[in-house]
Amino acid sequence: MRRLLAALFALGFVAVAAPALAETTLEKISGTGVLTVGTRRGSPPFGFVSKTNEWVGFSIDLVEQAIKPAIEKKLGKVIKVELKESTPATRIPLLTSNQVDLIAETMTDTRARRDSVDFSLTYFVTGAQFLVKKGSAIHGIQDIVGRRVAAQQGSTNAKIIRERVPTAELREFPDQPAAFQALAQGQVQAYTNDGIQLAGLKAKAPRPAEWEIVGDFYSYEPFGMAMRKNESDFRAVVNNGLMEAIESGQYFELYEKWFGPKGEVPYPLAPENKRFLLMQVVPK
């Protein structure tokens, strides 16, 4: 139902906003002096409201410290960053209706989505894994035959499991807390979701050490920042900002801040992911 409403809203927004689409994103930012960014309020550590009631996060830091300077350099003037709440249902309409210029949250770059928006280079990589009790016999998707596995209802992960391991007993829950409770009590033997989500869940659990995230990624979720389509100048500036952050090591400092052992959600950077990030940086 929510998706339906979002779709209706989207239609409305597009209808209203279409005539205003005359200037490019860079011209708009230059004119207003503001870069408007859609991000999350409840998606730690990418974008969330901290204990001190500040809107912070890894994606927000990347925008503030990597993208904003790149735009300022390009325009030759100082700009401000304004944050707006976006959700999976509203983010594409927000972009296409010019209400935000950039989506920086937890959006997976997919070919289907590339029909409606353009993506920056990949700035975070995750994929589906399993959360299990420490010492469980489940070490990955190969071990779930005949086991009770919880998933989020309607998620791509549930879809993939149904196709690849039809003999697994899939239990789909509408929300994460119920699925985790079922895992904690033994109703299910594993809970599957994107690795970073599981890391967040584990970090918040009463006794994080009792839980283990296992398995190779059996789905691939590359996060990108989304922009309006056919804005190659703006996209080049955003990508330059990200590339410079990766090249200079600033990206990895921010990664350590949010995902390091002392970060909001500990999620070590796999060597192959680090290599992948570095290889996206093209020569100057």
Partner 1 sequence: MRYAFHWEVLWSGQSGRWLLQGLATTVELSALGWVLAAALGIVSGAMRTVPWRPLRALATVYVEFFRNVPLLVWMFFWYFGVPPLLPEAIREWLFRHGAEFWAGTFALGVYHGARMSEVIRGGIQAIPRTQFEAAVAMGLTTFQAYRLVIVPIALRLSIPPATNESLNLLKNSSVALTISVAELTFQTRQIEAYTARALEALTAGTVIYLVLCVGIAAIMARVEHRFAIPGLIARGG
* Residue ranges that bind partner 1, judged by CB under 8 A: 1, 3-4, 8, 11, 148, 150, 153-155, 159, 171-174, 178, 181-182, 185-187
Q: Which is nearer to partner 1, 7 or 278 (CB)?
A: 7
In angstroms, give the least distance from the CB of 220 to partner 1.
19
Q: Under a CB-based contact definition with an 8 Å cutoff, are residues 255 and 269 in contact?
A: yes
Task: Give the sign of the dihedral formed by CA 10, CA 12, CA 18, CA 20.
Answer: negative
Long-range pairs of 168-177 with CB within 8 A, sequence gap ≥ 24: 168/144, 176/152, 176/201
Identify the H or E element spanning 283.
none
Q: Which is nearer to partner 1, 53 or 185 (CB)?
A: 185
CB atoms within 10 A of CB 61: 22
Query: Which residues make beta-bridge pairs with 61?
Result: none
In angstroms, give the least distance from the CB of 18 to partner 1.
16
Q: Which is nearer to partner 1, 96 or 120 (CB)?
A: 96
DSSP 109: P
In angstroms, give the least distance from the CB of 148 to partner 1.
7
Q: Which is nearer to partner 1, 32 or 153 (CB)?
A: 153
Q: Rounded to 5 degrees, what are φ and ψ at 258?
A: -100, -30
Report residue 79 CA to chain centroid gap. Answer: 25
Q: Which is nearer to partner 1, 42 or 146 (CB)?
A: 146
In angstroms, give the least distance from the CB of 5 to partner 1.
10
In angstroms, give the least distance from the CB of 250 to partner 1.
39
